[in-house]
Amino acid sequence: MDAANQPGYASLTPHQIVPKLADEGIYLASESTFYRVLKEANQNTRRGRAKAPKRRVLTTHRADGPNQVWCWDITWLPTTVKGRFYYWYMVKDIYSRKLVTNEVHESECSEHACALLEKGCLRERTAGRPLVLHSDNGHVMKGSLLRESMISLGVEPSFSRPRVSNDNAYAEALFRTAKYCPLWPDQPFDELTQARLWVQKFVEWYNEEHRHSALKYVTPDERHEGKALALLLARKDLYESAKAANPSRWSGNTRNWQLAEAVYLNPERPDARAAMAC
């Protein structure tokens, strides 16, 4: 204990203390013994000035309707000039998968993000209703200017955990769909207007024509506008009629066309939910 607490050693771990003592020709005990003795004396804590790391709690958000939980992100669009990119700002509703608002700019800054969010809130008329906006930990996402804009718009921020790549999965999935769909251009963009026109074309296709696999193959617009239920019920009736007309072709139930009532962002694992309930 005296060796571990003397000047020059008090901020070191046993793994540092033992070699340092050895360099002075002294052997007192092994690292494990130092740890055991420190633990018995209630000194088995962080020995430096740095604060102990805090475990960030996984923030779960639930949406059972449109305009309750949005996610947003920025991705690069390639240009014909090496090293230069255009920046696609995107806001997506996780319940309907609809692209709520999009813009393309030559730079990445908080001013563009604030204008994008304000435009989306005005378009979807979210004033007076709770809305969560989820993002990663980029400098634009966590800037004070955007935070002030969110407060004025009544939007609650939500951020991904550090070094966790799948916390903003809805946004990442959207960008992957864009960059691997047939609409993606064969060549980089020559100018900003060209990039903006392409994004506009993609958004129209994605919202109005793309039958989303996670939505039982209805479009994001149909889900967002409440039309999906009637469409899926009609599909169910059609399949039931087909089965009744030719039951020998069916080995079991007809296809499940029922959509989940709610969508979760970063859902807790079942064992974690059970532990929280206890």
> From start to end of the chain, where are the E strands?
61-63, 69-78, 85-93, 99-105, 131-135, 155-159, 263-265
Please state, as a whole number, how many other Cβ atoms lie within 10 Å of the Cβ of residue 161: 16
Is the pLDDT at 9 greater than 50? The verdict is: yes
Question: Cα(103)–Cα(118) distance, rounded to whole angstroms?
Answer: 12
Q: What is the pLDDT of residue 141?
A: 87
Name the token pair of 54. Answer: 């805090």
Radius of gyration of the chain (CA): 27
Give the predicted TM-score (pTM) of the model. Answer: 0.75
Numbers of helices and strands, H then E, in the chain = 10, 7
SS (H, E, C) 124-187: HCCCCCCEEEEECCCCCCCCHHHHHHHHHHCEEEEECCCCCCCCCHHHHHHHHHHHHCCCCCCC
Question: Cα(236)–Cα(217) distance, rounded to whole angstroms?
Answer: 13
The conformational region for residue 97 under phi > 0 = left, psi -120 to 50 = alpha, else beta, is: left
pLDDT in tens, 220-232: 999 999 999 999 9
CB within 8 Å of 259: residues ≥ 6 apart: 215, 216, 218, 223, 228, 229, 232
Question: Cα(141)–Cα(74) distance, rounded to whole angstroms?
Answer: 10
Is the pLDDT at 274 greater than 80? The verdict is: no
Query: Is 18 in a helix, a strand, or coil?
Result: helix
pLDDT in tens, 172-212: 999 999 999 999 999 999 999 999 999 999 999 999 999 99
Q: What is the pLDDT of residue 105?
A: 97
Q: Give the residue among 60, 66, 59 at the shortest CA–CA distance from 215.
A: 66
Q: Give the residue among 53, 46, 94, 55 at the shortest CA–CA distance from 72.
A: 94
Alpha carbon 104 to chain centroid distance?
A: 20
Looking at residue 98, the DSSP 8-state letter turns out to be -
Average pLDDT over the chain reads 89
